[in-house]
A and B are shown apart, each in its own frame.
Chain A
Amino acid sequence: MAEEIRAESYVGFDSITQQIEHKLLKRGFQFNVIVVGQTGLGKSTLINTIFASHLIDSKGRFASDEPVRQTTEIQAVSHVIVENGVKLRLNIVDTPGYGDQVNNENCWDPIIKYIKDQHSAYLRKELTAMRDRYIQDTRIHCCLYFINPTGHALRPIDVIVMKKLSEVVNVVPVIAKSDSLTPEERERFKAKIREELQYDNIRLYPFDTDEDDEEEVQLNAAIRNIIPFAVVGSENNVIIDGKSVRGRRNRWGVVNVEDPNHCEFMNLRNFLTRTHLQDLIETTAQIHYEAFRSKQLLALKEGVNQRPAQAQQ
């Protein structure tokens, strides 16, 4: 282990953090998120609420002449949001019509395939002899999984899909439209869900690594206690106590989306954008992509080894 020396006078290399920041600010950041869940759970609204902009339209069926059975075409919608000189390039992948049919066998396959395809595309670009300086990153950094606010437990389809997703992407479960649950019902529901997730060994983000310091470990533990986030989304504003906040005015009161007593939207928003944004991007590259990469390269090697053997035969 190298001994740490303190220079006799100020050198100035600590400005490298600003140099990096300067470079990164010019380049901008890329964040890709996929939303998965049944129609009508408020996926599009929530994304629009988190980023405080109208980014995606609901893929729901709003007219009788729209077909019931939609082809699960999975497409990304791209936006660039700028805040204080920081450019965030956002890719949002919405998944329509999932789990709504009579027979939902394998309806999750297109979604898993899409996620793997992004890893695959990145790998290919990485392995090219003449590769780009900065490979365009379309790998999914975060999957928001929407749970129906039934108040009972997870459905068989939820368990299967979350398990498969957690193997390829960072999964963050969310209870949508949680303004239909009273606080007691909500807590009971969340406890049941956490129990089930543990029982089924579903690995959810955040993961603890050796690099984390005390503060980060505590933060992660706190996040794990709140998961799944019980949220309410709204693109409309309401006036509460003279302030204009995002909320919903229903028949018996006004739900303030930004009030932590009403729902956990602020927790989710801060988690995704203020505390764990960089970590989500990094773990996708270091854990999920690496796992995919090693499997692919091993498979390639196997293929290469087999071919000369076959040629000899």
Chain B
Amino acid sequence: MSKMQISGRRRGSKIKGIQFTLMVVGMSGTGRTTFVNTLCEQEVLAHKIIDSPETANVEEVVTIRPVNVELEEDSVRISLTVVDTPGFGNNIDNEHTFQEIVTYLERQYDDILAEQSRIKRNPRFRDSRVHAVLYFISPTGHALKEMDIELMRRLSPRVNVIPVIGRSDSLTPSELKAFKKRIMEDIDHYDIPIYNFPYDVEEDDEETIQDNMELRALLPFAVIGSEEEVEIDGERVRARVYPWGIAEVDDPNHSDFVRLRGAILGSHLSDLKSLTEDVLYETYRTEKLSRTVADHRQSQVLPEDLANQSVRLKEEQLRREEEKLREIELRVQREIHEKRQELEAKEETLRNLESRLAAQGNSMASPY
């Protein structure tokens, strides 16, 4: 009894961090893994280890894997889920890898749609909807590639997309400025709705407007990451050491890392979440439902029913298994009963034999 009390106290005192799911998308070599590890200040994702040339460039399938990590930003606990997408864009034909990422995003929406429609809801259901995607652009210095435009276009209806220039080390300040400008022009030209730190001139206060304007002007964020520390002026900083200088990760003149981190894990975390939950998810839900209503003539089941069906199917399975177990129980009991009866019958015969023997013995003894 006392054990339960202690555990109850422990559970109650543990403050659960704010849940936030971040996905990183980009070709291998654009700095995704290093960025995530730099963001979380620990090795969350493992670097691609290429031991042998045989496995080095086997065509990969995109394996989407979420990893959980607890962070603290400005004394706020954040329960961050990072979803990495290794293998994206490395193949010769990348058409299906695009679809896999979009399918993953939609599946999280499907799961919560099903959960919400259940009669008996699971209190421990984990909302795994992705709140933001950091899309890593290669630092070519030109403009967007076809792959970038296509994928960002496909992702943005389902998730907040924030474009990021990975490995921006090799760009000079003027090249970077021109590059950012061209990317934003492309995004505008191709109508790609990215998350651009929206603000309302009439409703929001000065500070918010200023903040959002600054962040918007930094888009796309040029980041460099480093998991190694070096000593500069007696201080240990995260940096990359080149023969011609040292690039410091946390220096805002060197990269936009600090501002990006502050935005997605701090000032704009709740905005990203509410946009996902209140706008993107709702849009998906409406689309899905109206799509299937239109196809009703083709005898397609409503998604709610579909969801219920899958739930019911699972319950059915459980019931069937329980039944099987009960049958086995009954059978075993029957066998025991039969065996007992056999045993009793045998005991009877034995007793009869014994009494007869005893009777014979008596009759044999009596003539004398």
Contact = CB atoms under 8 A, between A and B. Distances in A.
Prevailing SS type, chain A contact patch = loop
Interface in A222-280: 248-256, 259, 261-262
A182 B240 contact: yes
B143 A251 contact: no
Contacts of B172: 248-251
A180 B139 contact: yes
Contacts of B59: 156
A199 interface: yes
Contacts of B125: none
Given A101-B146, A248-B172, A153 B56 contact: yes
A63 interface: yes
B223 to A, nearest CB: 13
Interface stretch (A102-110, A111-119, A126-134): A102-110
Interface stretch (A23-31, A48-56, A64-72): A64-72
Given A192-B50, A251-B253, A102 B56 contact: no
A150 B253 contact: no
A206 interface: no
A64 B94 contact: no
A134 B45 CA distance: 61
Interface in A148-162: 148-160
Contacts of A262: 243-244
Given A100-B147, A157-B92, A253 B142 contact: no
Contacts of B141: 40, 60
A58 B186 CA distance: 19
B148 to A, nearest CB: 9
Contacts, number: 146
B29 A152 contact: yes
A65 to B, nearest CB: 7
B246 interface: yes
Contact of A196 (B53, B93, B150, B182): B53
B28 A150 contact: yes
Contacts of A69: 146
A179 B143 contact: no
Contact of B189 (A62, A64, A196, A253): A64
A185 to B, nearest CB: 9
Contacts of B149: 68
Interface in B87-119: 90-95, 98
A102 B94 contact: yes
A155 B58 CA distance: 9
A64 B143 contact: yes
A100 B50 contact: no
B242 A253 contact: yes
A252 B247 contact: yes
A159 B169 CA distance: 26
A179 B169 contact: yes
Contacts of B240: 182
A160 B48 CA distance: 21
B242 A179 contact: yes
B188 A62 contact: no
Contacts of B190: 64
Contacts of B58: 156
Given A152-B28, A155-B90, A156-B90, A251 B173 contact: yes
B171 interface: yes
A149 B169 CA distance: 11
Contacts of A102: 93-95, 98, 146-147, 150
Interface string A176-207: 01011011000000001001101110000000
Interface in A70-118: 100-105
B167 A180 contact: yes
B94 A103 contact: yes
A182 B241 contact: yes
A250 B140 contact: no
Contacts of B52: 199
Interface of B: 28-30, 48, 50, 52-54, 56-59, 90-95, 98, 138-147, 149-150, 167, 169-173, 182, 185-186, 188-190, 240-248, 253-254
Given A152-B29, A200-B53, A252-B247, 5 more contacts: A39-B145, A40-B141, A63-B143, A150-B30, A180-B167
What are the 3 tightest A-B residue pairs by CB atom distance, in nearest-first order? A40-B140, A150-B29, A253-B245
10 contacts: A64-B189, A69-B146, A149-B167, A179-B242, A182-B242, A192-B50, A199-B53, A253-B242, A254-B244, A254-B245
